[in-house]
Amino acid sequence: MSLTAHDASEFLTAIYEVDGPESLARRTAERICSDQTIEAESNLLPPSLQSMILGRVEDLQATDEGRYRATIRFHGDLLSGECSDLLNVLFGASSLRGDVTLLSFTMTNGLLSSWPGPRFGIDGLRQAVSVPNRPLLCAVLKPLGRTPQELAELAVRFVEGGVDVIKDDQSLVDQPWCRFEERVARCAEAIVRTSARRGRPCLYLAHVSGSMDTMRRRAAQARSLGASGLLVAPGLTGFDALRTLRSDGEIALPLASHPSMLGTLVDRGGSGLASPVVYGLLPRLAGSDLSIYPAFGSDYPMSQEDCVSVAEHCRRSWGCLRSMMPAVGGRIGPERLGELGSALGKELIVILGSRIQQFPGGIEAAMKEFHRILEA
């Protein structure tokens, strides 16, 4: 294998947190350099190849919590543009250790340019729903067990109430009592018809997760049946499946990343991936236009600091990639809207789950209260 000087200018930089003291932290960092590349003793490579194949520790700094942050650089030629390759280099063998956290990663612009990123991003989503400058509201078609007609009738009430986006619940696939094609057709028609009556569009995200063949078929069907976006759970399908849909020019619909199973990747105490990597960087890199993840203060473990950091990683400048809209959920009621808006900003989607169906006065009253708070 030979690498040119031009090739050597492209690299991936990852930041890990590892246990101390410093001597242990340095040994762990050096182990990551080999584990994430050759997963063998470095002396198996001739010295001429070691600098081009192995990762390299760029920096090692103590944290306030007594751990150490190791910055490691990997050669760009280790990557081929697939999410599986990237994940393997970032955290493949190290995921087995139990004492390493991947905090973040960056790429040089040459590497980054080979990734699709969001097709529409924040600006495209706002144009699609004709809402220029406030948080967007997304309602969910649930619970599982309703028929396609019942879900379509629920969608009508959501649109009349003033939501901007409606998504399938991730539990909706192709059950005997709620077949995929009938559900998507009925809900899409109801949403388009009611949106035209109210004078403002509403996005409809149809859930298409499945095997790669199933997902492609469902995505094409959903588009032909009138869905205006797609919902994918990359924790179930893999991030490469999300990237494949994003790269399909015939589908070309907004993509939403759902967090189902992604929680298994998140660091819960010294090992795993940091929340901004799982819910921010990876979905955005693969091409999602919005990323759904738990709000702080919900039933799910998510600190306010991590919740804000995910939103920042969705929106911040990242080479040629468009920004991605953060979308927080977790049985959110009107009483939480002000708090979430203050912490997370206006470039935000708030997922309104089952609580709005139990609101005193019904869905319309719930939506009226949400809009009152937004306007205030």
pLDDT digits (tens, 9 = 90+) for 47-84: 767 777 899 999 999 998 889 999 999 999 999 889 99
Quote the pLDDT of residue 376: 76
- Whole-number percent of the chain with pLDDT over 70: 97
Quick: pLDDT tens for 86-122. 999 999 999 998 899 999 999 999 999 999 999 999 9
Judged by DSSP in three states, 276 sits in helix
- Overall average pLDDT of the 254-278 stretch: 95
Q: Does 210 score more than 90 pLDDT? A: yes
Please give the average per-residue pLDDT across 36-54, as a whole number. 76
In this model, does residue 344 exceed pLDDT 80? yes
Choosing among 3.60.15.10, 3.30.70.150, 1.10.150.120, 3.50.50.60, the CATH entry for 7-112 is 3.30.70.150
202: number of Cβ within 10 Å:
25
Spatial contact of 185 and 225, defined as CB atoms under 8 Å apart = yes
Kindly report the average pLDDT of the chain as a whole number. 93
For residue 175, the model assigns a pLDDT of 96
Domain assignments of the chain as residue spans, ordered by start: 7-112, 121-375
Contact 285, 117 (CB under 8 A): yes
pLDDT of 1 = 30
> Between 313 and 331, whose confidence is greater?
313
Stated pTM of the model: 0.94
Q: For residue 39, what is the DSSP state?
A: -
Do residues 188 and 195 make contact, with C-beta atoms less than 8 angstroms apart?
Answer: no
121-375 to CATH, choices 3.90.1170.50, 3.20.20.10, 3.30.70.3040, 3.20.20.110: 3.20.20.110
